[in-house]
Amino acid sequence: MSRFGGIRVVVVGGAGGIGGRIAERFAEEGADVLVLDLLRGADPALGGASSAGPGRGIRHCDLVDAVSVEAAFAVALAELGGIDVLVNSAGILARGSLLDLAPERWDLVMDINARGTLFAMQHAARAMIDQGAGGTIVNIASMAAKAGGGDEGAYAASKAAVVGLTRAAALEWGEHLIRVNALLPGYVLTDMGKDTRTDEDVATWSKKSPLGRLGTPDDVAGFALFLASVDGEYLTGQSFNVTGGMIMH
């Protein structure tokens, strides 16, 4: 399929998990995709190419470091020739009581999940404005932004910030034909969490959905591609629950 033939896509946090599947799906449908992700031991100058799969390249990007983000987007613009779609999928989870949450742990979660998302949005939006043809930004938040989440207070707060950024950016950049939306996944079965989840965990979480199952990366990826397609042209500033009915508001 070539639904996205000629479309230039940057996926931040696309080396694996939900972001990885989104990058794969765009590539499968004809897009020119570049993944920006944290590569341990990478050359800060981002020299050399490495592969993230068919139709995808991957370059180093440390969301905690504003200079690294700026350099990564400079490389993306040079290699792709512009940006039509940005997907922000990077994030970390910090578990534990808010009463015991250390300041440095709070800062790290907010720096990556919220501040890093803002930096990526800024660089992509500037490119889209310069191009003069608009574009699409899809931010991957979490149902924790609405539901809180007992021992995930910092994570929930950071993802609520992403929802707020999505709305603010949609209002500010709409005049440039830039659409900004957020996806709020529920429990999604990714390889990243397979070492810590049990069959009992999966069964318990599945009962939270009226559909009786957990989400898959494809469930989220399909919606992300819809938002970036012509079928999603009149959607902006929205936060869509991709939770199998676990959240209905």
Mean pLDDT value across residues 52-79? 87
How far apart are alpha carbons 74 and 50 in whole angstroms?
A: 17
CA distances from 222 to 24, 54, 91, 131 (A): 11, 18, 20, 26
- pLDDT value of residue 52: 47
How far apart are alpha carbons 209 and 43 in whole angstroms?
A: 44
Tell me the residue length of the chain.
Answer: 249
Residue extents of the structural domains in the chain? 8-187+217-241
- pLDDT value of residue 46: 42
The residues with which 10 forms a beta bridge, in sequence order, are 34, 86
- Dihedral, 235, 237, 243, 249 alpha carbons, nearest 10: -110
- pLDDT value of residue 198: 87
Query: What pLDDT digit, counting tens, does each position of 153-166 carry?
Result: 999 999 999 999 99
- pLDDT value of residue 40: 72
CA distances from 14 to 1, 160, 201 (A): 21, 21, 26
- pLDDT value of residue 237: 98
- pLDDT value of residue 49: 43
127 pLDDT above the threshold of 80: yes
Q: Count CB atoms within 10 A of the CB of residue 71.
A: 18
Do residues 60 and 44 lie in contact, with contact meaning Cβ atoms separated by under 8 Å?
yes
Query: What pLDDT digit, counting tens, does each position of 87-111 carry?
Result: 999 999 888 899 999 999 999 999 9
Name which residue leads in pLDDT, 193 or 64.
64
Query: What pLDDT digit, counting tens, does each position of 3-54 carry?
Result: 999 999 999 999 999 999 999 999 999 999 999 999 975 554 443 344 444 4
| Three-class secondary structure of residue 87 per DSSP | strand
Q: Average per-residue pLDDT in the chain?
A: 91
- pLDDT value of residue 193: 64
| DSSP 8-state symbol, 188 | B
Global confidence as pTM: 0.92
Q: Count CB atoms within 10 A of the CB of residue 130.
A: 12
How far apart are alpha carbons 247 and 148 in whole angstroms?
A: 11
Dihedral of alpha carbons 223, 224, 230, 234, sign: positive
Query: Which residues are known to be catalytic?
Result: 155
What letter represents residue 8's amino acid?
R
CATH code 3.40.50.720 for 8-187+217-241: yes
Mean pLDDT value across residues 81-85? 97
147 pLDDT above the threshold of 70: yes
Do residues 206 and 171 lie in contact, with contact meaning Cβ atoms separated by under 8 Å?
no
- pLDDT value of residue 50: 46
What letter represents residue 18's amino acid?
I
How far apart are alpha carbons 212 and 215 in whole angstroms?
A: 10
